[in-house]
Structure 1
Amino acid sequence: MTVTAPTALRRDRLVRALDAANMPSLVAVLYQLTGDRTWLQDPYRPTRSRGMDDNDGGGFAPEVADIIRAAALDAITSGRPPALPSPTGDDLVEMISAAVGESVPPEFAEMVAEDMGFTHAPAPTQTPCDFSVVVIGAGVSGMLAAIKLQEAGIEHIVLEKNSDVGGGWFENTYPGAGVDTPSHLYSYSFAPRSWSTHFGKRDEVWQYLSDVAAEHDLRDRIRFDTEVDSAVYQPDTQSWTVTTMDGDTLTADIVITATGQLNRPKVPNIPGLDAFDGPIFHTAEWPDDLDLQGKRVAIVGTGASAMQVLPAIAETVGHATVFQRSPQWVASSDVYFEPIDDDVSYLMEAVPLYRLWYRVRLAWNFNDRVHPSLQVDPDWENPSRSINAINDAHRRVFTRYVEKELDGRPDLIEKSLPDYPPFGKRMLLDNGWYAALKRDNVTLVTEGVASIGPDSVVGSGGHVAEVDVVILATGFETHKLLSPIDIRGRSGVSIKDFWGPEDAHAHLGITVPDFPNLFLTCGPGTVLGHGGSYITIAECQVRYIVDLLRTMANNNIGSVECKPEVEQDYVRRHDDAHSRMIWTHQGMDNWYRNDAGRVVSTLPWRIVDYWNMTRHADLDDFDVESARR
């Protein structure tokens, strides 16, 4: 690991940049550059982050912060290589723990070391093989699969139903659309970006993906405006026949699905839905020519997209009526609205170690840090409000935040406080939601929608809102994985019938018995419910798949099919883990669970656990056939 040579640094520019530094990240950089253990001890040890805040000040008194900055300036401009160029193991855990202000379990060292580049996976090599791959989808996962297949020298083509890359980030153009994961974390590990904001909005996120596609020449290998109708496995030839909606057919040895879980809008069957005279649409299908100036608007739902839409349109519309079936827990962020300072961007580019340590801290705060608090304490006395002592403390913190943001509006406080435990649904970040609710031209109705008339929306409790526009913020068909594609395996049975209408399951969320040479990304049980960046999970899955394809090529294997008992064991462990977690808590209603109460969407494991599970593919998990070609 190297830092920029001192000759490339302007000392005065660096001084200014260091004034804007995240101090806990800077302490870790300082120790790595110098090896001086003084920087891991008081008074130079940062405090613990509060919630999901950046903790830029680190809890340091101004005079202590000045000492740290001065020492960092000297270390960065000294010209000396880092004293600890590639910390691993206990040394790295100690450094991470110091940076985040709390103890980090030792099992995180290996994953973090690889993500930071302190240990290296084998360099990509071309794998001699004569099989081909069809990737379905060119969103985050499909792009990643194409990049890694290219590095491995494996022939492939990507079929994408849209006219460009990006998946959901191409499709969702509604006002306020953006990430609720920090931008520097919502990035491929191998493709950093100088982000303009801490939480990227849709246009910048899509531009990032577009730039990655250009850098890797992905568009040359993508067939756009091509939606897949079916994929049928041919046992005799150990291959798949993929048919598009246009009737074209392709033959491939391997199929990788990258269709995601948030790509098919869920439109409820509301009486009168087709009778409305004005514009009515799902957030994922926002009209390009829509004019909301002075209009009366109904927003159906209060999930993530609704919470982004309302603050973005509140100043434009004449009046907005929000229909809420149940309130959401919302967390604060001290940097949600803040642009990333030019000084910070300069520091990340001039001192690569700083960017790495800043990302590590984000990963800890937004990923596995909260996972232990999501385990149900069977002896907890207040299961209706929380699941354990830590979760109850979270409830108090979030409740105080709601009360502070809605101070003076007891009516809104009563409507906005959930009656279920925090994290029972995906935790949302406040992007101006509460400020928008307090506006005179916004009405929050605590009713579902019973019916829609030509110019009105009627709530289940009788509230009638006369409106000009209806916005359906009603989520996606998350349980109908791979729909509407008809995928048929060795036995000829459709995967829809194999799973049933909403009970998908797969070993590691990646591979399914009776479907040889079919690999899923963003499969069942792999959505992150406890926070973090899905891109991390996508990288785990694609690494596993490409590792297995390399093994097939190197051993003249024609097909691999997950053994039923392997998948059954994984699903049993998956369900058992969920039975002790918050998402199966009594009374919970979330999109992670199907109607039978089984959690279909969410990962029960910590990210570090899944990283280890998917690090290498084990051929013993598969029934293997030698290649017949």
Structure 2
Amino acid sequence: MSEHAQGAAIARDWHDRSLPLADTDELRNALEEANLQTLLMVYVHLTHDAAMLDVFSNYIRPPFSVPGTEVPDEYLQELRTKLHHVLTTPGAAREDDPSEALMQRMMSVGVGEEVADEFLPLLMDQIGFKLPKPRKEIEGRPAPQSGFKVLVIGAGMTGLAASLKLEEAGYEHIVIEKNPEVGGTWYENRYPGVGVDTPSHFYSYSFEITPEWTHYHPKGVDMQKYLLHVADKYDLRRNIRFNTEVVSLRYDDAEAVWNVTVRGKDGAEEVIRANAVINAHGPVNRWKWPDIPGREEFQGKMMHTATWDPSTRIEGKRVGIIGTGASAAQLIGAIADQVGDLTVFMRTRYWSIYNPEINHEVSPGMKFALRYIPHFREWFRFRVYWFAADGLYGNVVKDPEWPVDSPSVSAANEGARQWALAHLEAKFHDRPDLKEKLTPDFPIFSKRIILDAGWFDALKQPNVTLEDGGIECFTPKGIRTKDGKEYEFDIIICATGFDVANMMGKLEIHGRGGRSLRDEWGLDDPRSYLGVTVPGYPNYFMTVGPNSAPNHAAGQNLISEAQVHYIIECLDWINANGARAVEPKTEAFEAWNRQVEEQMKHMIWTHPRANSYYNNSKGRVFLSWPWRLVDLWNQTRGPNKEHFELH
């Protein structure tokens, strides 16, 4: 089956969730298997029976808190019986939605802790209960100016969202994609074991929530199928030019347009004129080789995880892997029992935590509930979001009373550290050598965390060696370490990450008066206003720009939607005023960066022992958003017009 066909196949007959449902074994099985808290939310949503919340509020607690008393069986059976009646009996369910006050109480009971007022607008938006009307259907909104054209760079998760929302807003646009298909990261990364840290039922668009995940954390192929499905359903390919790369952007001051030079697969170049540019090429798009001499000398096969060759046969081979980050951990867990000998070269240590759901498949009953029971998928998405997002923020905020030289930054952070240490001890109590090599000396959450999906077990296999002595160079036959050891390999795999700090990649961007963004940013010191705009570059919009990445939590999909929303709000403002372009004022840009730097002093990423790809070569934290996701969502509802100027 082709990739395009796989995308179409994901959409089945789960769109119809009308009542009543047939009283089938599948339904009864779903009521037994599906998540209890979510079933409770569905029942109250359909009946407005708040009394049932009182029954369960004494038993539901958030994960990793003091455990509550187990729910009595009679209460569980009562809930399932009542919900079964509502789902199968004509007229038993109410047709009106609960009040906002009741929904807030449902949320608080469902997660076992207070859901404050400030979260409600974000939650209603992100869990899919209040889908916004397409902009071009909003009464009184001016139609976009005739001939106003937007160019989007990239057709990954953010670029597809931009194309869809631009279409809904009535903007003429074109998407330039260097690959032959949509997907971005999930098209390119195909190494064994590739997957997503964010839980499946949140890592998707709020306007296209799917029940078709096979695992609670999506595999790479699942993500690619989902994005193919979105491209199919919304007919997005008609605005995409594939196998084409953007080379440069140059702003024409007199015409207030961007001259965008693109290069096709045949090497031919042309210039596309666009009134606005949305750069959605993503931070994990520019993979990099390790800075180790002699790479060209190796006579075996060498590849980067981001350029995995699916024809590669690894069975029985001598394999070397450089790196122990997220990609390496996934790959090693997937191939350790297939290769002959595997040597892992560790450049840095990472905290690893165990999540029992990381490899769990979604059961048939749970999938039935997600497909057919009204409101179940939205309420389950809420639950997943709540525990994967701002609930984690306390882990990354420094307690000013906490010792500066401690390997943690607060009591909450120390608790998470002890939890991770307990996992290390459980896995390596019989291998003190590995435990010592793998125990980090920096605060947990100050670098990206690895979800252990077989990574630790793989390191204990007899054919696996963990080498932490440092690499001196590549050799014709393999790798020489700094202590003089020689390793021979058939295959070397570089899991050495991406050039995240060089946010321009190979692009050349020239703004007003010919000014150069590369000159202003250098190689690794990008700065912006709100992670989206830069003064001097009118109508140039970034996504996942400087200091806008949610490094404390899951939520890149939320960031993508929020920033696309913000960008189109900016375009609508231009349009409504008959202007040609917008850009942030220099003083607003400078003030926002001062706010970032001040807040960053209180964040875990500026701890003396913290250093990761969130930092540039001078140690500045250029990537992380230092506030909560709800704060970013609120700030991207539209431009602060005092901070911008229209041209």
- What's the TM-score once normalised by structure 1's chain length? 0.95
Corresponding residue for 1:14?
A: 27
Counterpart AA for 1:129: Q
Pairwise mapping of residues 276-287 of structure 1 onto structure 2 (< 5 A)?
276-287=298-309
Q: Who is 2:224 aligned against? A: 206
Identity of aligned residues (%): 38
* Structure-2 residue corresponding to 1:27: 40
Aligned in 2, Cα 1:362/1:622: closer, same or farther, shift over 3 Å?
Answer: same
Q: Give how far 1:480 is off.
A: 0.3
Report the counterpart of residue 80 of structure 1 in structure 2.
92
Q: Would you say the 8 A contact 2:126–2:206 is kept in 1?
A: yes
CA deviation map 1:501-523 (0-9, x unaligned): 21111111001000001111121
**Per-residue CA shift, 1:74-126, capped at 9, x if unaligned?**
233343344861442x5433222211112233211111122234445344316
Deviations 1:408-450 (A, max 9, x none): 2222111222111111111221110011111011111123322
Q: Is the 8 A contact 1:3 1:81 kept in 2?
A: no
* 5+ residue gaps, structure 2: 1-14, 138-142
Q: Is the 8 A contact 2:551 2:624 kept in 1?
A: yes
SS of residue in 2 equivalent to 1:612: helix
- Amino acid in structure 1 at the alignment position of 2:35: N
Residue in 2 that maps onto 1:273: 295
Contact 1:24–1:46 (CA under 8 A) maintained in structure 2: no
Corresponding residue for residue 368 of structure 2 = 346
Cα contact 1:511–1:520 (8 A) shared by 2: yes
Counterpart residue number, 1:110: 121
Match of 1:242 among 260, 266, 279: 260
**Correspondence 1:423-438 to 2 at 5 A:** 423-438=445-460
Do 1:182 and 1:200's aligned partners in 2 also have CA atoms closer than 8 Å? yes
**How much has 1:200 moved relative to structure 2?**
1.3
The one-letter amino acid of 2:370's match is M
Q: Is the 8 A contact 1:507 1:571 kept in 2?
A: yes
What is residue 75 of structure 2 aligned with on the other side? 64
| Corresponding letter in the other structure for 1:136 | I
Deviations 1:167-223 (A, max 9, x none): 111111111111111111111111122111111111121111011111111111111
Of 370, 375, 385 in structure 1, the residue corresponding to residue 397 of structure 2 is 375
Equivalence for 2:533: 511
How large is the RMSD of aligned CA atoms in angstroms? 2.0
Q: Which residue of 1 aligns with 2:182?
A: 165
- Quote the residue 1:603 is aligned against: 625
Matches within 5 A, 1:469-480: 469-480=491-502
Q: Equivalent residue for 2:511?
A: 489
- Aligned residue identity for 2:493: I
AA in 1 matched with 2:76: A
Q: Distance in 2 between matches of 1:14 and 1:171?
A: 39
Secondary structure at the counterpart of residue 292 of structure 1 = coil
Paired residues of 2:125 and 2:131 also in contact (CA < 8 A): yes
- The whole-number CA distance in structure 2 between the counterparts of 1:413 and 1:261 is 32
1:406 deviates by: 2.4
Q: What is the CA distance between 1:620 and its match in structure 2?
A: 2.5
Counterpart AA for 1:85: D
Indicate yes or no: 2:254 matched with 1:226.
no
SS in 1 for 2:173: strand
Take 1:5 and 1:353, find their aligned partners in 2: how far apart are those partners?
10
Q: How does 1:289-328 map to 2 (within 5 A)?
A: 289-328=311-350
Pick which of 609-618 and 101-110 moved more.
101-110
The correspondence of residues 358-507 of structure 1 with structure 2, limited to 5 A, is 358-381=380-403, 383-507=405-529
Give distance in 2, aligned partners of 1:86 and 1:427: 38
Assess, with a 3 A threshold, how the Cα gap between structure 1 residues 68 and 382 changes in structure 2: closer, same or farther: farther
Task: Write the letter of the residue equivalent to 1:440.
Answer: P
Change (3 A) 1:80 1:63: closer
Paired position in structure 1 for 2:204 = 187
Deviation sequence 1:120-175 (CA, Å, 0-9, x none)? 53443163322001111111111111000111110000111111111111111111
Q: Which among 172, 178, 191 is matched to residue 174 of structure 1?
A: 191
TM-score (norm 2): 0.92
Aligned equivalents of 2:98, 2:189: Cα separation in 1: 40
Task: Label 1:120 to 1:142 Cα distance change in 2 as closer, same or farther (>3 A).
Answer: closer
Contact 2:85–2:92, Cα closer than 8 Å, also in 1 = no
Maintained 8 Å contact 1:3/1:76 = no
Is structure 2 residue 535 aligned with structure 1 residue 549? no
SS at match of 1:299: strand
Q: Tell me if the contact between 1:448 and 1:459 (Cα under 8 Å) persists in the aligned partners.
A: yes
Q: Provide the rounded CA distance (Å) in 2 between the counterparts of 1:448 and 1:553.
A: 56
Amino acid at match of 1:104: V
| Aligned mates of 1:580, 1:605 — CA distance in 2 | 10
Amino acid at match of 1:181: T
How far 1:555 sits from its partner (Å)? 1.7
Give the Cα separation in 2 of the matches to 1:42 and 1:217. Answer: 47
Matched residues, number: 620
**Partner Cα distance (2:587, 2:491) in 1:** 52
Q: Please name the residue that 2:9 is paired with.
A: none
Alpha-carbon distance in structure 2 between the residues aligned to 1:531 and 1:270: 32
2:574, 2:646 within 8 Å by CA — same for their partners in 1? no
Change (3 A) 1:81 1:300: same
Aligned partners of 1:230, 1:561: CA distance in 2, in Å?
19
Q: Which residue of the partner structure matches residue 522 of structure 1?
A: 544
1:134 touches 1:158 (CA, 8 Å); kept in 2?
A: yes
Q: Give the stretch that moved more between structures: 39-48 or 159-168.
A: 39-48
| Code of the aligned partner of 1:138 | A
Aligned to 1:196: 214
Q: 1:573/1:84 Cα in 2 relative to 1: closer, same or farther (>3 Å)? A: farther
Q: Which moved more, 1:23-32 or 1:298-307?
A: 23-32
CA–CA separation in structure 1 for the residues paired with 2:37 and 2:112: 8
Mean Cα deviation higher: 253-262 or 339-348: 339-348
Matched with 1:622 is 644
3-state SS of 1:103 partner: coil
Contact preservation (8 Å) 2:566, 2:639: yes
SS in 2 for 1:6: coil
Letter in 2 for 1:231: L
Do 1:34 and 1:83's aligned partners in 2 also have CA atoms closer than 8 Å? Answer: no
* 1:470 CA displacement: 0.9
Separation of aligned partners in 2, 1:467 and 1:265: 22
For 1:129, the equivalent position in structure 2 comes to 145
Residues 540 and 43 (structure 1 numbering): CA distance in 2 closer, same or farther, change over 3 Å?
A: closer
8 Å Cα contact 1:300-1:449 kept in structure 2: no
Mapped contact 1:135–1:158 kept (Cα < 8 A): yes
Cα separation, 1, equivalents of 2:639 and 2:93: 37
Aligned 8 A contact 2:157 2:557 in 1: yes
- 1:464 shift after superposition: 3.4
Question: What's the CA shift string for 1:222-278, capped at 9, x where partnerless?
Answer: 111100110100010000000013321100111110110000112122011111110
SS at match of 2:117: coil
